[in-house]
Amino acid sequence: MELNYHFEDNGKTETIVILHGFLSDKSSMAQISTELDGIRNIITVDLPGFGQSKSIGQDYGIETIANALAGMLESLSITQADIYGYSMGGRVALSFAINHPGYVKRLILESTSPGIASKEDRAIRRQVDQSRADEILRDYPAFISQWEMLPLFSSQATMTRDDQARQRENRLAQKPEEVADSLLKYGTGVQPSYWTKLSRLHMPILLAVGSKDQKFIDINTRMSLHMPDARLEIIDGAGHNIHMEAGPKFGILLLDYLSGGMNDGKRMANDSRI
């Protein structure tokens, strides 16, 4: 599998890989890239089905993507990097860390789930994802409108109109047939559950969730209990998409974490709210 990516060599000794969420591409992470380009070389990636990375015609799953990321780093002669993923990209980042832990210096997961533990619940989610894929193919703009109205994204009403317009434009720029195909190949209904493998991750991990996203607060609180070196940060005033809803605050958090200012090697007994 080949992934479209951009490597920004800022002349730094360390590199971070940034993975976007569903219905977007690597350009949606531009602000985060700008926040971090003073301390890291930056790799932004189009995940399969988005931007210039193809999904249709390929037989793959989420762990195939993890292997492709490892191949990408090897081709760039990068032996270790920080890995940051948002939502869908966080699931890919987690898969990469579990399958290729030697490549990961630090793992940053924004609004991320390790998958669905129950086989029965995964089967139900596959049915939901199939229905969503059908809706995407039938009327993509209508699907986007419905997606933006999900309770998960209700907090985005506080974003500026320009930010909302840019996000919608990026979503509409994706190819519906590619989006639908990707959902059926590495959505949460088909990806493996990683709950039982979280304890294998011994690298420093930052779990970031928004204070308005109770579902993912609960998920990440549970995740942190299984991870030997995890820190949970709850960002006040943000929902699921923290990097857009609380961009400056989240940028400061990442800079501090990656610069070692948060003592990322020490496990927190309780979460930290900023």
- State the number of CA atoms in the 13 A half-sphere of 202 facing the CB: 2
Looking at residues 153-174, what average pLDDT do you find?
A: 90
Question: What are the tokens at 9?
Answer: 């060599």
Looking at residues 220-235, what average pLDDT do you find?
A: 97
Give the chain's mean pLDDT.
Answer: 94
Share of the chain above pLDDT 90, in %: 87
- What sign has the CA pseudo-torsion 234, 34, 70, 260? negative
Looking at residues 245-263, what average pLDDT do you find?
A: 88
Looking at residues 69-94, what average pLDDT do you find?
A: 98
The span from the CA of 222 to the CA of 37, in Å, is 32
Query: pLDDT grade, residue 159 (50/70/90)?
Result: confident
What DSSP character marks residue 111?
S
* Greater model confidence, 162 or 98: 98
pLDDT of residue 157: 80
Q: Does 268 score more than 70 pLDDT? A: no
Q: Does 140 score more than 50 pLDDT? A: yes
Query: pLDDT grade, residue 245 (50/70/90)?
Result: very high
pLDDT of residue 260: 84
Q: What is the pLDDT of residues 113-125, one digit of tens each?
A: 999 999 999 999 9
- For the beta sheet containing 5-8, the strands, ordered from the edge strand earlier in sequence to the opposite edge, are 5-8, 41-45, 15-19, 81-86, 104-110, 205-210, 230-235, 272-273
Other Cβ atoms less than 10 A from the Cβ of 171: the count is: 22
pLDDT of residue 155: 84
The enclosing domain of 210 has a CATH number of 3.40.50.1820
Give the domain range for residue 228. 5-273
* Greater model confidence, 204 or 265: 204
Query: pLDDT grade, residue 154 (50/70/90)?
Result: confident
Total domains, the chain: 1
Question: What are the tokens at 28?
Answer: 């949606």
pTM (2 d.p.): 0.94
Looking at residues 50-72, what average pLDDT do you find?
A: 98
Q: Does 75 score more than 90 pLDDT? A: yes
